[in-house]
Structure 1
């Protein structure tokens, strides 16, 4: 058999194999595309509650519809602290001086009652205390504020208590403790007063004083520890507060009686109150701020501004970048209950919805929500519109530490396929798979063409050599004649 024919046959076989490989790659590309679309379809079915699996691979069964009227209870360890902190120790009872009922407690109107006060001791003299309560009870709030001296320093009250006793002063500071003080029967009809211990503004960091004990006739709505507050009242005395531990120093306190505090204003601030610490620290103040924002923002505006491309990893890895940002979270509802809010919270809300959503990557997102649709069930596909608060850390029922984005939402909606786009995760997988397959096929084509050109060049070179061998070299006779010609004589010497 001719050697050239064998080489051509071998080359043709190689070409056929390359074409088969390219065809197989094209088929693989089509299969990858189909698989990606099938995965996307499964993902949508999972969002609709048709058998999505959780992180451990178990199927989540559809739960009963959520009853919006039922108040639920969170597991221990997941209960957020949203209300005022309890006092460290209950206040001591105050006894009313014994007086003839027919005299109607004459000491309440006698200015000499204040002469019983002794400054810088641990006592709270009952008669002067009720005298001051009676005086403030009968003060008009506007007149008391107008009379109050806003420039008096805490040190002046402590050092010159007798000079300021009974005068109207203005106290500003940060709430350190709160308590309720029961009262005995009295002519004002007061059953209790509210005690707020404040650390005065601009107090030296290492001072053991600069404290106010403000006995308020009215409770400050929504007050939380570390709130900055202001009250106008009447100064009673400089008092030494016994420490909680024997090793602690005595605390120096200026005692005053006020009718009320100025209302808290942080809900109307343009910026979310802080600082916010990611982890398991309670964040009641920014939570109420976001709930207030969610209540007053029109839903269409929130929906238009909500970011839909942020993921669990964005919130967990860089929470400070997205704090307070409007977001839309799409996923499968895992938990939804209604929890009671602390009484007298600043919003006046009795309760709020609390729940968790597993997003399309099966990551858990925790949320508070104002409105949920009737008949929603656990495992329903939902979309949540709200604001990102923080990365929250808690202990699960199994004892594991869990990180979860905390969302404060206005509205939860059962998913609508016409309003929810293709899952970005599946889109990324699809693009990467198609691009990788295209690169492989392109590389195979380039390599195959390079091999074909090399094989064609080698075949042409072999054919040329065989042709030369059969016909002889065209310059051979000329070279033979030149070899037989005698050499030229050397030129004569000059």
Structure 2
């Protein structure tokens, strides 16, 4: 029976150990996406001090409304039967929604140009004279929220979601409007619209009373035309060099970079190949990166709306979104957005944005600590998704499998070669040790051989031939 040396058993154990490690590495490469690493969320995030200026508004996005299932036909008889001081959702509301949703954009623009402006006090006195007419109204937004219409089946307008807005005019009168769309306007902003006057309805209050409010229906809420719009941006290098760190959040540099980010197209920012935002580089060398575009990827910790005290600045931005992002190195960045086109889940979503670095400003936490955070101003941001393994393109998936196979084969070949060399070296060492032991015992064996008498048995190790004797 062939005996196995302890070296062979030890080598096989090493081979088995390394093969197990390689198998685990291969499984890890398959399960892990090697293309886009996901940043980690810190175990103890900083809780910000939320300002009490204004609550965060609702998202601009609503589920899309479908086109009217049937063409709109005006019904004069129905318009004459409309009565005031009735509940909010009634047949006439869906009738006017059908009318508004059937107008083309060209017809709506012409109507917006030719619609007259009316006093709300005069409208409340004689509502029947202005019913089913397009009127232009402007005021300050008191309330803005999405609203789902009650009817789903018997709804000829095709409108199921609207923006329900409460405006307060210069006369001090409240007006309610149902809008299919809206621009970038938020509560406490000035707005105007051209809408169809429907009726004066009774709004129930908490003390079991009601309030009479005119109801309009429009296609889009617009910012007032008399507000100053954004002018062309001009770069001022001297102003950028004079910007100091540890200054308040709302300062001239904030409006300056808001004007810059609003005037620069997103494609131009991408073509400039902005570098990745590094916390220590922005903290140590702010003058080097100030006014330059950077690329930030991290986990969103919070996001809320913020109303600016913009007085006469040409950037034209009055409402922004403030947030906190932490990268994969657990470093925090303060971000400012002028738009929000998606719904984000703080603490879960990994976001990506391209913005301009402004400064390092003093950030106060709820624990009373003051830390310096880099401030990055961007137009918008999007969710940063990892590519799942099963959704990789065929060429990338094939390259990945072939590369892992070649790498595994190479490692196995090198381990086998190393094991064979170890076996040869150990065999040579054993042979050398055997020769040394023999050489050490050789004088003793030679001396013992000379001291013994010579005999046929001792010399030849064979018994002598004895004569054959026969006994009778």
Q: If the length of structure 1 is used for normalisation, what is the TM-score?
A: 0.41
Q: If the length of structure 2 is used for normalisation, what is the TM-score?
A: 0.43
